[in-house]
Structure 1
Amino acid sequence: MSATALNRVVLIGGSEQDGLALSAILDGWAEEFEQFSSEDWLAATVFPETVGAILIAVDDSAESALACCATLKDGPSTAGLPVAILSRGTPDRALRLLSLRAGADDVFSLDDDDAVIGARTAALLRLKTLQDEVAPNQLEATGADEALHVLIFAEEANARKSLMKILQTVATATATDNPQDILFRAARSDYDLIIVHGGANADAAFRLCGQLRCVPANRFVPLLALFEREAWLPSERLSCRTADDCLIWPASSEELTLRVLLQARRKRFLTALERSLGDVVPSGQALDPETGLSDKVAFAALLQRAQRYVQRVEEPLHLGLFQLSGMFDHAGVERTVTAIRAHLAGRDVASRLDDGIFAVLMPDRKPQEAQALVEAMRQDMLQGFQSLRGRYFAGQAASRRHDMPMLDVRVVVKDIAQHKFTG
């Protein structure tokens, strides 16, 4: 076991096959995965500061899993660790209620779709990252006791009615069936969560999530995508990164409520983090109206300010540069921006410096973490353009008036203390 992996997922209980399956599913989401038996669960918390999330499997009975969860949530060094209860089959109402009373942050099934398990676990990992970055006293001014405000998009009237009815006990909800209307509302009001119901069209749901993520006011607003099980093709599953969580729908009302409350907690930490941004990334920065990223002039000024900061504190500050060659239209820019924004966290700031040139400032990341982040963005860009290329081929089968969009992404990570930047 490594005491330095800060994104470690621990499974307590479950069979050896469960551990192997989860290890494969979470490859790419977690830095490290470990499994412990139910009797040896205390060993899982020897280095609690390195644990990103704990998954407790329900073996023969739920009592031991619930007792383990309650003990973890009562311990001074483990109370803040995100914990999920994993059941066989769909968790029933009783198990969900008992899990919440024991302090669990989520409840889901070992039999869920692989990508859904990955997304649920990733949500817990992001929650832990935010908890580590926000001091407890910064949470007092985030309106934690106020009613939640949820914005819902669903083209089907029955879906809008059903979602509104389920959420009426935990949130004030507004629903619309117009994609342009939801973008307008999201840009002008402060919501705690946005739910996008795609129904039989998962790709449309993720595409709308990507557009919402590019709205400057929505950078810290969690996005929950709902869609039918048959609607999510394996080739599209990396597109779930445009959303913060996804749920096969229809599902139980308790399932949706639990997911909403988890994302609401995440929004609370995000709001506190946004208010605590310090000298490196000032609030109210100018934004590029087309991409929603930082304006290039403001970004150049930010780099100069950051350079003076790192020279004063003598610590590295990393900048990722992307040079893209190929044909660019609005869809291409949108895919590129989506690939970048899907990975931004904390005080990361991105900007388009010129056509085909993007930059990402990563003030809180270590060298290896910065390199890994930039590579993940690069891979998402390449996959996004492969998808676009296929659509261009389909749409231009009878016409060769335009070249097919090709993409070559070159990346570099620099320590900005070694370079000079001008506006």
Structure 2
Amino acid sequence: MTARILVVDDIPANVKLLEARLLAEYFDVLTAENGYECLDICSKVSVDVILLDIMMPGMDGFEVCEKLKSNPKTAHIPVVMVTALDQPADRVRGLRAGADDFLTKPVNDMQLMARVKSLVRLKMLSDELKLRAETARSIGLEDHLARAAQAEEVASILLVDGRANSQERIARALRPIADITAMNDPQAAIFEAAEGHFDLIIVNSNFDDYDALRLCSQLRSLERSRFIPVLLVVDQGGESMVVRALELGVNDYILRPVDPNELLVRCLTQLKRKRYNDRLRDSVQQTIELAVTDGLTGLNNRRYLDKHLKLLFDRAIARGRPLSICITDIDRFKSVNDTYGHDAGDEVLKEFAARIRSTVRGADLACRFGGEEFVVIMPDTLPDTAAAIAERLRHVVESQPFQLRQNGTALTITASLGFSSTIGGAESAEQLLKQADRALYEAKHGGRNRVVAAAA
């Protein structure tokens, strides 16, 4: 696992020690002597994890962390505070400042490396989502992301705890920030996690006859719970369990006896990160949809058609099944634009697409080919059936006038259609499309408002 770690400490011996440990794990290591240097490096260089001391001259680690988290460019760099401070109030203050963890010196090597590796994996996931979401921003989805941030619902937390008294203490601490579903049966909790909609799962390792890490592993293996953050409650001295948990993909942990304030802050950090990544995933999904969808009509676009037609053609040939394709063109569409304007033309295109949707079957694929041309791909469809579908579409277009909302004008619109089928001997998806295009050409030049089959 390659990643760039920034070590920030004003004591050279501490820097050298951490640097040696990280280099032994093949990390790329940068160092800074103070908070100002840390902020400067982060503004110029991509950093994956920051190991940050607190007691430094000029600007302490709390202030450095707050500045990092308040800057959108550095807000999502994981920060681990590594310090001699060991009071619960210091830990809570560090976590409130935005730190992902707070480790007290002397730090257990295995625990530190496991934590760094866990945060690196998390950072890489976020970076990948951010990279994919850049397209969303470039095409105007910032508003979507902003709305999603403003419309956050009350968080939902699943608490899996084998003992009623600790269940109640944890639930009481978290009720101000979330709805709590508490369960004491780990197996039932797996089903609940898969069926419910949770923002965080807390697993208490206090079961007498069940391995809490097995539950964590199962949660990570299920599709529905794979991206839900998991926080593990562990006994003091349970460093080996913490290391194993982080390797399994557990996001965070807290030691017993549980400090309610620390628990609250750790949960808020995980909820914030999940919401951020969820918004990124949503924007990525919308970007994908926009990339293959025609913005005006809502049908799939030419890019999607080119890819999908080849897949359907190859599948039809491999299975010995027929595949038919129909190209339809709005007759004299240019005159609509010339007479009534392009807004009217857009209305006609949208209504035409709606009539295609109402006519084709569920298994058929309708796409906007470009301009006023549309394509319908019909899997498992013989030429006779394709002709009937094309004729039905021609009739649906002609039978009812197209009403223009802007002035109430009713337009009589017709369409010409050409279709072809693999039964005709096409050897490729491109050839099948060309055959249908030639049939459309014949329909246009034969008087329009008609269906023509490609010659075999």
Max Rg structure: 2
Partner of 2:104: 109
Question: What is the rounded CA distance, in whole Å, between the counterparts of 2:112 and 2:261 in structure 1?
Answer: 17
For residues 62 and 157 of structure 1, do their structure 2 counterparts lie closer, same or farther at Cα, with a shift above 3 Å needed? Answer: farther
Q: Does 1:12 align with 2:18?
A: no
The reply to whether residue 241 of structure 1 matches residue 241 of structure 2 is no
Instruction: Give the alignment partner of residue 51 of structure 2, picking from 48, 51, 55.
Output: 55
Contact kept in structure 2, 1:194 and 1:223, CA below 8 Å? yes
Match of 1:153 among 160, 184, 197: 160
Q: How far apart in 2 are the matches of 1:60 and 1:197? A: 36
TM-aligned CA distance change 1:202 to 1:178, over 3 Å:
closer
1:185–1:76: structure 2 CA closer, same or farther, 3 Å change rule?
closer
Letter in 1 for 2:218: Q
- Identity, in percent, stands at 27
Q: Could you tell me how far apart the structure 2 residues matched to 1:266 and 1:68 are? A: 20
Equivalent pair of 1:7/1:31 in contact (CA under 8 Å)? yes
Matches within 5 A, 1:126-141: 126-132=121-127, 133-134=129-130, 135=133, 137=142, 139=145, 140-141=147-148
Q: State the 1:150 CA deviation.
A: 0.7
Q: Are residue 226 (structure 1) and residue 233 (structure 2) matched?
A: yes
Seen in structure 2, the aligned counterparts of structure 1 residues 147 and 126 have a Cα distance that, compared at 3 Å, is: farther
- Out of 182, 186, 200, the position equivalent to 1:179 is 186
Report the secondary structure of 2:279's partner residue: helix
- Where does residue 72 of structure 1 map in the other structure? 68
Highest RCO, 1 vs 2 (Cα 8 Å, sep ≥ 6): 1
Deviations 1:49-81 (A, max 9, x none): x21122320126795223333443455643443
Pair 121,254 (structure 1): closer, same or farther in 2 beyond 3 Å:
farther
> Do the aligned partners of 1:86 and 1:109 also contact (CA within 8 Å) in 2?
yes
Residue 37 (structure 1) aligns with? 33
Residue correspondence of structure 1 range 289-328 to structure 2 within 5 A? none
User: Residues 15-68 of structure 1: CA distance to partner in whole angstroms, max 9, x if unpaired?
Assistant: 3443345446656988322221116435532533x2112232012679522333
Higher helix fraction (1 or 2): 2
State the alpha-carbon separation in 1 of the partners of residues 239 and 26 from structure 2: 23
Residues 22 and 166 of structure 1, relative CA distance in 2, 3 Å threshold = farther
| RMSD of Structure 2 on Structure 1 (CA) | 3.9
Aligned mates of 1:255, 1:202 — CA distance in 2: 28
Change (3 A) 1:17 1:181: farther
d(CA) in 1 for partners of 2:43, 2:260: 37
CA contact under 8 A between 2:91 and 2:262: conserved in structure 1?
Answer: no
Give ranges in structure 1 of 5+ residues lacking alignment.
Answer: 283-303, 309-423
* Amino acid corresponding to residue 159 of structure 1 in structure 2: S
- What is the CA-CA distance between 1:127 and the residue it aligns to? 4.8
Aligned residues of 1:66 and 1:98 also touching (Cα < 8 A):
yes
Deviation at 1:13, TM superposition (A): 1.4
- Cα separation, 1, equivalents of 2:230 and 2:198: 10
TM-score by length of 1: 0.55
- Identify unmatched segments of 5+ residues in structure 2: 290-306, 312-456
Offset at 1:8?
1.5
Q: Contact conserved, 1:10 with 1:54, CA < 8 A, in 2?
A: yes
**Distance apart, 1:208 and its partner CA:** 0.8
| In structure 1, distance between residues paired with 2:193 and 2:6 | 36
Length, aligned pairs only: 279
Q: Which amino acid aligns with 2:190?
A: L
